Structure 1
Amino acid sequence: MALNILEAARRVIASVVITALLRVFRFFSAWKTAVPSAIKRVPPVGNPLLLLSATQLAKKIRRKEVSSVEVVQAYIDRIQEVNPLLNAVVKDRFAAALQEAAQVDKLIEEETGGEEVLEDRLPLLGVPLSVKESFALQGMPNSTGVITRKAILASIDAAMVALLKRAGAIPLGVTNTSELCMWLESHNHLYGIANNPYDLERTPGGSSGGEGSILAAAGSVIGVGSDIGGSIRMPAFFNGIFGHKPTPGIVSSEGHYPPASGRHDEYISNGPMCRYAEDLLPMLKIMAGPSVHMLSLNTKVDLKKVRFFSIPDDGGNSKSYPVSKELIDIQRKVVERLEADLGVKVEEVRIPELRYSFEIWSTYMNLPDKEGKPPTSMAELMGEPGRPVWPLWEILKSLMGKSNHTIPAIAFALTQMSCQSEPSPFIIQLRESLQKKVDKLLGTDGILFYPSHPRVAPEHHTPLLRPYDFPYTGIFNILGLPVTQCPLGLGEEGLPLGVQVVGGKLQDHVTLAVALYLEKTFGGWRDPGASKA
């Protein structure tokens, strides 16, 4: 009884402090952004090389129709043009990239085996790549936005980065993230805040927001992200690009910071982000490495034989924002086009357990591993390589502008202090029930359309006032399902619309096939500098 009272008291204190902190932050945020920026979005793309997919670029480079140096230089020029507006690329390696591109061109000149040999051995030869800063890229910072880690440089490549480089890709630099990859905005006190190329006063999302931003602005053609609650899919949605969260366990997390702890390795997925749907599958084939045999990526998908389902919202969770009319309408248009084009029937379904998506996600994120060891706390991660921080002290420091940490990170650490030591049996039962229903619904040939977020890219810092909107993506991490985020044109304010395409476990090839269809039908990525609503 005493323990329950103590837990309740801790929850009340945490809630009161966080609410007060957010109100103060909202005041100062409104004051700081009172004067509108003269520049609203990035300039349009000028170089036609930037409008080709990675697949097309690799083919042209192999055929000597364009040099790798030309392609890499074109992307360097674009980054230098847009990054002062976006703050997406936080550290570049342009000189090294140009040297590697020159080596690629020399290799192609000397190759005697023909184009087919190069394609088989080095499918991404000479193609530029951007890398989320939380992944180790040799010689580049690997801080994940933590000031005390600013001097840490990666000595080796993360496993999947190494695979992409081995396939011929040339990294241009590393991109901005949220602090410790645990927030809806890519903002930290080491690098600052990243902006959305469609509207510089809006967020590109998190935690792979720098990736989403620079890709959408045509400063990169392919990139990589990590996703434990929507960190690939929300930035892909907010920035109008494609992103794929693979079935968990397919792409290695080795070389990612922070490392998985507790049961996080069951929920985290690392995957490709790109502007063109045709690049998703070849990237996943490379990134999966030795686990690629677990997927059926070479299997041709007949969409007329796929069973389609649609869920318009989570059923009314009081914590999350209602799904906007324009997102409900665009999902309905997806259904209508599928039925008209393919002659299929898309069934609208409701699953009541989805109302508890946040409670399920937060409960399972805090579960201990099989040995009983809990996840590393946010306070510990924020203090590394030293001692854990004290969240209440960081709040006071933050109000005086003296904290090294962002308000979301501090609030997350404070919330963890108030978490129950034992998971709710009710939530455990809900998750088990939800898992059974969704697995039965999708099987090996089912696809589910589900909103990516309740609204289009929000203005900077406003996610602090609606922190429970991410479970639209986060629930599928807990369910262990592959999801492809697909752009669906622009909405009323000229901001990207989109939808999540969810498949059964290990059925990544089916969601990727649907992504190709949706790109052809709805137009895919739009140049933010030239786009209108």
Structure 2
Amino acid sequence: MEKLQILKMDASSIATAIKKKQITSVEAVTVFIERIKEINPSINAVVEDRFSEALQEAHEADEQLQNNKSVGRLHGVPISIKECLHVKGMKTTGGLEHRQDLIYQEDAEVVDQLKQEGAIILGKTNTPALCFCQETDNKLYGRTNNPWDPTKTAGGSSGGEGALLAAGGAAVGIGSDVGGSIRFPAHFNGVIGFKPGNATVSVEGHFPAVQHDLQKRMLTVGPMGKSVQDMQLIYEILSHSPVKPQTLREFKIEILPLNPGYPLSTKTGQLLGQLANFLEKIYNVQQIMPPYFRDSALIWQEVMSINGSKLVENEAFNNDRSGLLRSFLREKLNQRTKVHPYLSWAIMGAKMFKPSRKRIMEITDILQQGDELLKTYLDKRLLILPVYYQSALEHGQVFKEIFSIRKTYLQYMPYTAYANVWGLPSLTVPVGEDEKNMPIGVQIISGTGNEDAIFRLGKLLTKRFRGYKIAPVEER
């Protein structure tokens, strides 16, 4: 089998090919290792590899098949893991220099689950510092570039995963999402990503952990890759249960209408219109703004600001006596500090928007009421929302827009905040490209329990529209 053919294959196809002995695990792992070596100097996606161990495990996987031993659903398949998840024998740094020598001796629960199914980990991928930004850059490992255009952002916080998978550097990968961290990179890099619903997948072994119950409902771990089929396979492994079969025709499909309060690029708006025109020929399609959409961005900001992100600040600055404000100002004066200015600014924002105890109680009541309403509303509904108002921007621009709280934040953040605030499963699929061939994706959202319908619609859209394409990365 040719190298390019293997690189384009999803995890499900590679697993099948290995079991049928059409390719060996060693061949598959070798092809992806070579690809990473080719592309990583340009995109800086993989920050720590385990190539020698992966090849040894691939040899063992092939021997197991030769000896007719029972094997898992990902037997011999090469995968990648976001840096924030513990992998035995590897670092979990959060992109912080003072953690660069910390090696963990236990796997995160999701990593252990994947290993039990036979997956082989190639390496860990880059994140922003403490996963606290929608762009991927940190002081320890540097910036990750979009493989379709290295001057553009790969998104965050699972930006390393998005860039690596778009460039064909792994069969499938694992990211995490507390505020669009799977969906931004999936959208910007043109890959598929699935943010599971609240409490359906373990977050044990994720760094940093979240402390408050309102924050816990927003953090999930999920797959990123090349096909919706892989998203379903990995989700079923991580959630310990197969999805319940559903009939797509029983669902209403609601597409976010164009609204001047939530502006979209011309191309993004056109793509939503094309989706509506295609789907309304088959299904019951309406253009409606879902309940609580307007409130979601502000609620997300307040929930993430509980306690003023004190634990994040303590972890970021450790024994650094320079302090938050001084560190940020020194960076503005081009004086190097140990904490990335994206993180410093995010922490300052959390301090400014820290909710009072009374407000936390109000938010708790709003969420309880909203959970009940949306449970009924989403019973037989699928929502289609943008991920962001346009395709990938130049490095630093998304950070400026998201952290401009009183201006563009409230226009652009509701798209991704919605699924986090309400703990909903959300699948991102690439449906088109802009004028410069940069990918554009959309989200498919519904209630927990409707994953099968989400995946069915995702498969339909990836078949009819763009789907996954491998990025032709230029070597440095």
TM-score of the aligned structures, taking structure 2 as reference length: 0.91
Compared CA separation, residues 431 and 214, structure 1 to 2 (3 A)? same
Compared CA separation, residues 314 and 376, structure 1 to 2 (3 A)? farther
Amino acid at match of 2:378: L
Is structure 2 residue 328 aligned with structure 1 residue 395? yes
Q: Deviations over 1:155-200 (max 9, x none)?
A: 1111001100110000000000011001011100100000001111
Compared CA separation, residues 323 and 436, structure 1 to 2 (3 A)? farther
CA shift, 1:432, in A, is 6.0
- Provide the secondary structure at the position in 1 that maps to 2:187: helix
CA shift, 1:363, in A, is 1.6
Cα separation, 1, equivalents of 2:174 and 2:14: 18
**Which residue of structure 1 lines up, in the alignment, with residue 400 of structure 2?**
465
- Provide the secondary structure at the position in 2 that maps to 1:214: helix
**Which residue of structure 1 lines up, in the alignment, with residue 346 of structure 2?**
412
Counterparts of residues 52-201 of structure 1 (less than 5 Å): 52-111=9-68, 117-118=70-71, 122-201=72-151
When Rg is computed on C-alpha atoms for both structures, the one with the higher figure is: 1
Amino acid at match of 1:152: L
| Alpha carbons 1:313, 1:450 under 8 Å: kept | no
Cα separation, 1, equivalents of 2:220 and 2:291: 26
Cα separation, 1, equivalents of 2:323 and 2:454: 43
Match of 1:478 among 421, 427, 437: 421
Cα separation, 1, equivalents of 2:394 and 2:224: 22
**Which residue of structure 1 lines up, in the alignment, with residue 405 of structure 2?**
none
Unaligned runs of 5+ residues in structure 2 are 403-408
Cα separation, 1, equivalents of 2:84 and 2:259: 31
- Provide the secondary structure at the position in 1 that maps to 2:429: strand
Counterparts of residues 24-43 of structure 1 (less than 5 Å): none
Is structure 2 residue 235 aligned with structure 1 residue 284? yes
Q: Deviations over 1:106-161 (max 9, x none)?
A: 1100116xxxx53xxx0100000100000001111100111111111121111001
CA shift, 1:255, in A, is 0.6
Compared CA separation, residues 143 and 172, structure 1 to 2 (3 A)? same
Amino acid at match of 1:89: V
Match of 1:349 among 288, 302, 324: 288
Compared CA separation, residues 387 and 492, structure 1 to 2 (3 A)? same
Q: Please identify, of 421-430 and 463-472, the stretch whose mean Cα deviation from structure 2 is larger.
A: 421-430
**Which residue of structure 2 lines up, in the alignment, with residue 325 of structure 1?**
266
CA shift, 1:417, in A, is 2.4
Amino acid at match of 2:447: G
Cα separation, 2, equivalents of 1:300 and 1:360: 33
| Alpha carbons 2:236, 2:243 under 8 Å: kept | no
Q: Deviations over 1:282-335 (max 9, x none)?
A: 11111123xx3xxxx343332222211111357616xxxx21121111112112
Is structure 2 residue 241 aligned with structure 1 residue 300? no
Cα separation, 1, equivalents of 2:162 and 2:4: 20
Cα separation, 2, equivalents of 1:391 and 1:506: 43
| Alpha carbons 2:301, 2:353 under 8 Å: kept | no
Cα separation, 2, equivalents of 1:162 and 1:93: 16
Cα separation, 2, equivalents of 1:203 and 1:111: 46
| Alpha carbons 1:182, 1:207 under 8 Å: kept | yes
Compared CA separation, residues 67 and 46, structure 1 to 2 (3 A)? closer
| Alpha carbons 1:314, 1:355 under 8 Å: kept | no
Is structure 2 residue 382 aligned with structure 1 residue 447? yes
Q: Deviations over 1:421-451 (max 9, x none)?
A: 41548867765665555443311x2100011
Cα separation, 2, equivalents of 1:67 and 1:420: 53
Match of 1:275 among 222, 226, 229: 226
| Alpha carbons 1:195, 1:213 under 8 Å: kept | yes
Amino acid at match of 1:304: R
Match of 1:335 among 265, 276, 289: 276
Cα separation, 1, equivalents of 2:300 and 2:84: 22
CA shift, 1:507, in A, is 2.0
Amino acid at match of 1:269: T
Q: Deviations over 1:61-107 (max 9, x none)?
A: 11111110000000001111111100000111101100000000111
Compared CA separation, residues 420 and 125, structure 1 to 2 (3 A)? closer
- Provide the secondary structure at the position in 2 that maps to 1:524: coil
**Which residue of structure 2 lines up, in the alignment, with residue 250 of structure 1?**
200
Amino acid at match of 1:440: T
**Which residue of structure 1 lines up, in the alignment, with residue 443 of structure 2?**
500
| Alpha carbons 1:312, 1:328 under 8 Å: kept | no
- Provide the secondary structure at the position in 2 that maps to 1:202: strand
Counterparts of residues 1-16 of structure 1 (less than 5 Å): none
Unaligned runs of 5+ residues in structure 1 are 1-44, 369-373
TM-score of the aligned structures, taking structure 1 as reference length: 0.82
Compared CA separation, residues 146 and 354, structure 1 to 2 (3 A)? same
Amino acid at match of 1:335: A
Cα separation, 2, equivalents of 1:138 and 1:315: 49
Compared CA separation, residues 124 and 389, structure 1 to 2 (3 A)? farther
Cα separation, 2, equivalents of 1:519 and 1:400: 44
Compared CA separation, residues 154 and 420, structure 1 to 2 (3 A)? closer
Instruction: Provide the identity percentage.
Output: 32
Cα separation, 1, equivalents of 2:373 and 2:471: 39
- Provide the secondary structure at the position in 2 that maps to 1:260: coil
Match of 2:456 among 508, 513, 533: 513
| Alpha carbons 1:246, 1:270 under 8 Å: kept | yes
Match of 1:214 among 159, 164, 185: 164
Match of 2:300 among 358, 361, 365: 361
Compared CA separation, residues 433 and 177, structure 1 to 2 (3 A)? same
Cα separation, 2, equivalents of 1:189 and 1:239: 23
| Alpha carbons 1:197, 1:217 under 8 Å: kept | yes
Cα separation, 2, equivalents of 1:269 and 1:66: 34
**Which residue of structure 1 lines up, in the alignment, with residue 313 of structure 2?**
379
Cα separation, 1, equivalents of 2:466 and 2:349: 41
